[in-house]
């Protein structure tokens, strides 16, 4: 399982775009990049997943360069409710295989201010 490195914490203000970068130099060919969000007293929640280039959904965008050794989670126009811990995970998400276990890194604690 590829190790990930991401900033321990970030601060921003409401209405700003926030970009959280994750490094994963040892990513394997079958690995996907997945981001989870965790609010206090809740389990992590899936945000977005990608393999290469760019993925966008209603919550965020995920940018992955050609070498796939890093990725950037982009949150457009954040609000106070986006204050949470964001985890970047790299692994093979095949269904029902031992490879589907998820190993969490330290995560990025994002604080949004008014």
Partner 1 sequence: SAVISQKPSRDICQRGTSLTIQCQVDSQVTMMFWYRQQPGQSLTLIATANQGSEATYESGFVIDKFPISRPNLTFSTLTVSNMSPEDSSIYLCSVARGTEAFFGQGTRLTVV
Q: Which residues bind partner 1 (CB under 8 A)?
A: 32, 34, 36, 41-46, 49, 85, 87, 93, 95-96, 98, 100-107
DSSP-assigned beta bridge partners for residue 9: 109
Residue 64 beta carbon to partner 1: minimum distance, rounded to whole angstroms: 15
| Minimum distance, C-beta of residue 16 to partner 1, in the bound complex (Å) | 25
Tokens encoding 1: 């399982």
What would the two tokens of residue 110 be? 């994002």
- At its nearest, how many Å lie between partner 1 and the CB of residue 87? 7
Q: Copy the structure tokens of residue 70.
A: 């890093």
Which residue lies nearer to partner 1 by CB, 13 or 104?
A: 104
Supply the minimum distance, in Å, between the C-beta of residue 18 and partner 1.
20
Residue closer to partner 1 by CB (options 80, 102) is: 102
Residue (of 77, 91, 87, 113) closest to 20 by Cα position: 87
Q: Which is nearer to partner 1, 58 or 114 (CB)?
A: 58
Nearer CB in complex with partner 1: 16/102: 102
What does DSSP assign to residue 52? Answer: S
Q: Which residues have C-beta within 8 Å of that of residue 98, sequence separation ≥ 6? A: none
The SS3 assignment for 42 reads: coil
């Amino acid at each position: 399982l590829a190790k990930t490195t991401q900033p321990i914490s970030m601060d921003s203000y409401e209405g700003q775009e926030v970009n959280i970068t994750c490094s994963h130099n040892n990513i394997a060919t079958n690995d996907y990049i997945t981001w989870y969000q965790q609010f206090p007293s809740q389990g992590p929640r899936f945000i977005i997943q990608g393999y290469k280039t760019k993925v966008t959904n209603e919550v965020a965008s995920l940018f992955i360069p050609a070498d796939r050794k890093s990725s950037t989670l982009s949150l457009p126009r954040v609000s106070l409710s986006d204050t949470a811990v964001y985890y970047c995970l790299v692994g093979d998400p095949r269904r029902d295989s031992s490879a589907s276990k998820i190993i969490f890194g330290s995560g990025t604690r994002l604080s949004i201010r008014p």
